[in-house]
Structure 1
Amino acid sequence: MVPFPQELFDAIIDEIHDKETLKACALVGSSFLPPSQRKLFRKVRLPGGLGRRSRDTSAALAESPHLVSYVRDLTILMASTVPNSVAMAGMLRLAQNIESLVVFGRAVNWNHLKHEACSALIDCLSRPSLRLLYLSSMQGVSAALISAATAIPVVSFVHIRMDVREEISEQLHASAPAPRLRHLILGDSGPAVRLICDFLLHPRNPAYTQQIEHLEIHIDQCNASYVERIMAACAATLKYLAVYATDLIQLPLLPFVLEVEIKVFVGDNRRLPAFFSHNFSQIASSLPLAETITLVVFVDPLRPGPEIEWPDEGPLPIFGPSFMDRTQLLHLRQVHCILRRQSTFGDISTVFDRFVPAMESTMPGLRGTGILRCTLDNPQQLH
């Protein structure tokens, strides 16, 4: 019998997405074992908890260290306990081919972690294969970690607080890795964002922000001036901007942005915030090459009572009846209005029927142009 080529077995396994089936395939024979293991351990979640599935994954990796070489997407739920820190350090040291790293700190203080865990995490960020880093809910984070993160193309900081007691040396900025940062997400507000912005805008190393093409930011009254400086620092390269603002903002001139996304929450009365018109109208003067504008409107589906009408707040200045006689936004091809749930549970399907005419009333100059599109983003309720 002519043996089947290994590539055929690999192709078969690659089409399997159920973990139990992959486990069964791994027991079939030597030709099925490596591709099954590669698929099973491509995505690994290292827990801080003690669930059975978590224990099984940790045990398998401990008994067969070669499996760590298959890990491409790693999620770590951190805890400050010694066993968890040791396990995290060991995993990070072995995962040499990692492409995506997600770390949920659970409000863990960086200074309370074992030194080997901190060192392993910083070292991991220098891997050439690493393309995405998502850090969430960590306190007392060292400047060395933020500096190392700039060597990764896609970085997200959510509820990350730098160590305010740390003296950041000039040497740290001077010896920072060559920045590869292209996509930056600052998913927080207040002092946490100010500290990160201050670090990234340090005059000793302006290269931190000079290659960013995609920026997602949360702006409030407390951090507005800092975030505006970040936007200005990215102006020469920025092509995509996503803004969630809770107050008046001032957009700098961003001459090369092609796509902008504005996120806003409407309250129980379905009224857009008072500052919305001012913020939205700046797009025409600040983003002259904008081709796509996306407006994401969040609503709370758990609000009691019958559905109510959206108030008629009049047209936005840039999309009034005379829009087609425009001298601005000459490249605009689409305005996409998305209705999205604020919370995990609930249904907003009934809200959408009134959302569409409300958006058309707000942007009367887009009627009949094919530019305006409204969609509902209401994923099936999770159980």
Structure 2
Amino acid sequence: MALLPQELFDAIIDEIHDKKTLKSCALVATSFLRPSRWKLFRKVRLGLGRHSRDTAAALAESPHLVSYICDLVILMPSTVPDSVAVAGLLRSVQNIESLLVFGRAPSVNWNSVEHEACSALLDCLSRPSLRFLHLSSMQGVPAALISAATAIPVVSFFHIRMDVQEEIFEQLHASAPAPRLRHLTLGDTGPAVPLICDFLLHPRKPAYTQQIERLTICIDQDNASYGGRIIAACAATLKYLAVSLENITQLPLLPFVLEVEIKVWVGYDRRLPALFSQNISQIASSLPLAETITLVVFIEPIHPDPEVDWPDEAPLPIFGPPFMDRTQLLHLRQVHCILRREGPFDDISALFDRFVLAMESMMPGLQGTGILRCTLDNPQR
């Protein structure tokens, strides 16, 4: 086997997904050892309870295995033993690239988590190898953590409530690390949104948003103005934008955006929101270089009554018959319409034909151009 290239062994091991088989492969030969360990320990998930403590203990006993960990998923601990296990691992990983941290449903209070785990998490955010951070379902999150997150290229916040202390904000903005944020995702509802937005838009640190190239916003209509402020702050560098329909009531000029994704929810009557046509029409004037427009239509679960036809909608002005004159959207190459289910239990395949007809009737100017594409996103149960 020594005559065969190592790349071949790596490719073979990469096709194995069963942990028991991978453990056996690690015992076969030196050529199998490293790729097997990499596959076994590249991604580690720490939840709660004995399994997590056992995983952490095994890694503590064999610290050389920690060097393989690149992707780490953590459920914030609630007990001292779990906190010790989580903190130990966070402090020992040096090659981490992706970190996902979840609070317990519906959310966990930062102050209820052992200090050791919180401190270790903050330290981990300073790893130069860290490229992706996801924080979800936590309350009382200190501004220091949000500040540290801006030094990571890809960050997503979901249901994160900050601990508001304005004097601390000022100190952090003055000493914040150099921002490296390139892709920001804000997914939230309610009063948590303004706090994070106000922090990121603070006049003492405009550089937080001035390098963002990809922005994903999914917040409720009550906070749409904050979404607009974030979009405007990123306008000079933004190349990709994903928003829900409620967030685009007024789009600023985004001169460099090449791709936009619009999310919209449709009820049992299969009728698009009243302002759909008006909001979509903004794309022509606000995104002059747009090459791809993706429309993701989330549909309510199928109801007991017979399925109704999609109602006739007036053609979208920007995609009406005059579209072929090409006075706007000169760079447009694709309009991708995706039908996606909102509920987890319904098969929506039967609705797809109706969906395609509805999209074609709203975009008659795209017929025969090859620009319009419709697909069904209907995962198996």
Q: TM-score range by the shorter chain?
A: over 0.9
Q: Aligned residue for 1:88?
A: 86
2:203 match: secondary structure? coil
Stretch moving more, 54-63 or 327-336: 54-63
Contact 1:340 1:376 in 2 (8 A): yes
2:369 and 2:34 mapped to 1: Cα distance?
55
2:168 match: secondary structure? coil
User: Can you list the C-alpha shifts for 1:132-155, whole angstroms capped at 9, x where unaligned?
Assistant: 101111111010000000111110
1:66 aligns with 2:64: yes
2:174 and 2:6 mapped to 1: Cα distance?
49
1:370 match: secondary structure? coil
Opposite residue 339 of structure 2, the aligned amino acid is: L
1:21 aligns with 2:21: yes
1:143 aligns with 2:159: no
Opposite residue 369 of structure 2, the aligned amino acid is: T
What percentage of residue pairs aligned between the two structures are identical?
A: 79
1:322 match: secondary structure? helix
Stretch moving more, 58-67 or 370-379: 58-67
Contact 1:79 1:108 in 2 (8 A): no
1:134 aligns with 2:134: yes
Contact 2:143 2:169 in 1 (8 A): no
Q: Aligned residue for 2:97?
A: 99
1:281 and 1:329 mapped to 2: Cα distance?
11
Contact 1:248 1:275 in 2 (8 A): no
2:238 and 2:247 mapped to 1: Cα distance?
23
2:250 and 2:168 mapped to 1: Cα distance?
30
Opposite residue 272 of structure 2, the aligned amino acid is: L
1:337 and 1:18 mapped to 2: Cα distance?
37
Opposite residue 192 of structure 1, the aligned amino acid is: A
1:331 aligns with 2:331: yes
Q: Aligned residue for 1:287?
A: 287
Opposite residue 298 of structure 1, the aligned amino acid is: F
As a proportion of its length, which structure holds more helix?
A: 2
2:96 and 2:119 mapped to 1: Cα distance?
17
Contact 1:218 1:245 in 2 (8 A): no
Quick one: structure 1 residues 373 and 120, their matched pair in 2 at CA, closer, same or farther if it must change by over 3 Å? same
Opposite residue 311 of structure 1, the aligned amino acid is: P
Stretch moving more, 70-79 or 14-23: 14-23
Quick one: structure 1 residues 87 and 333, their matched pair in 2 at CA, closer, same or farther if it must change by over 3 Å? same
TM-score, structure 2 as length reference: 0.94
Task: Let me know the Cα RMSD of the aligned residues.
Answer: 2.0
Stretch moving more, 299-308 or 277-286: 299-308
Opposite residue 128 of structure 2, the aligned amino acid is: P
Opposite residue 258 of structure 2, the aligned amino acid is: L
1:350 aligns with 2:368: no
Q: Aligned residue for 2:152?
A: 152
Opposite residue 113 of structure 1, the aligned amino acid is: V
Quick one: structure 1 residues 124 and 180, their matched pair in 2 at CA, closer, same or farther if it must change by over 3 Å? same
Stretch moving more, 238-247 or 354-363: 238-247
1:8 and 1:245 mapped to 2: Cα distance?
48
2:298 and 2:74 mapped to 1: Cα distance?
29
Shift of 1:63: 2.8
Opposite residue 285 of structure 2, the aligned amino acid is: S
Q: Trace 1:139-288 onto structure 2 (pairs within 5 A).
A: 139-164=139-164, 167-246=167-246, 249-288=249-288
User: Can you list the C-alpha shifts for 1:205-254, whole angstroms capped at 9, x where unaligned?
Assistant: 11000000000002433212211111111001000000013476211111
1:237 and 1:21 mapped to 2: Cα distance?
47
Opposite residue 280 of structure 1, the aligned amino acid is: I
Stretch moving more, 5-14 or 283-292: 5-14
Contact 1:238 1:254 in 2 (8 A): yes
2:297 match: secondary structure? strand
Quick one: structure 1 residues 349 and 226, their matched pair in 2 at CA, closer, same or farther if it must change by over 3 Å? same
Shift of 1:29: 4.5
Query: Structure 1 unaligned runs (5+)?
Result: none
Shift of 1:12: 3.8
1:278 and 1:133 mapped to 2: Cα distance?
35
Q: Aligned residue for 2:73?
A: 75
TM-score, structure 1 as length reference: 0.93
User: Can you list the C-alpha shifts for 1:172-205, whole angstroms capped at 9, x where unaligned?
Assistant: 1111111110000001133212111100000111
Stretch moving more, 341-350 or 5-14: 5-14
Aligned residues: 379
Opposite residue 227 of structure 2, the aligned amino acid is: V
2:139 and 2:231 mapped to 1: Cα distance?
25
Quick one: structure 1 residues 204 and 3, their matched pair in 2 at CA, closer, same or farther if it must change by over 3 Å? same
Stretch moving more, 13-22 or 223-232: 13-22
Query: Structure 2 unaligned runs (5+)?
Result: none
Contact 2:335 2:373 in 1 (8 A): yes
Shift of 1:11: 4.7
1:253 and 1:177 mapped to 2: Cα distance?
29
